[in-house]
Amino acid sequence: MDPRYKMKLVESTFSQIFGENAETRIRTVEDSLHELFLEYSIIQVLPFTETNFDVGNDIMMKTDAFQEVSFDGSFFPAEDGLSDIEFYISDFTANQQFKSELNEYLEEPLEPSVQEFDILGWWRINGSKYPTLCRMASDILSMP
């Protein structure tokens, strides 16, 4: 989530640590990042009302379409064997005619590496360009 390094830091570090086995591990990180982005995208698309509350490890939501629904991967009926995330991913990727925010962000040039770089300030400024990534960065960067 650091625009000065993006995936280059992972690629460089993993290459040093894992040598010729680095590529599969780098791909795992990339795939996980895309999955996380899709989860944040799904949350943004769902018809939430103002009633969201935590219950243990699950987030419970009250919506017009769903009464109390646990965010555990079971929103849609699995008539064809697909869970909701698989359904969303297949629909999203099949109809994708644009680059996702994540792909645009990763393809843009790296920010210059300066000593006094304010990463949270950068995300505040660029939040309108990358709203989903901005929420991800806020959550990830706020972890100690």
Supply the DSSP symbol for 26: H
pTM score of the predicted model? 0.63
Residues 6+ apart with CB under 8 A from 94: none
pLDDT reported for residue 18: 96
Q: How confident is the model at residue 132 (pLDDT cuts 50, 70, 90)?
A: very high
Higher model confidence: residue 54 or residue 24? 24
Q: Please tell me the distance from the alpha carbon of residue 14 to that of residue 24, in angstroms, as a whole number.
A: 10
CB 115 within 8 A of CB 11: no
For residue range 30-75, list pLDDT tens digits in order: 999 999 999 998 887 665 544 444 444 444 443 443 333 444 444 4
- Residue 117: its pLDDT value, please? 92
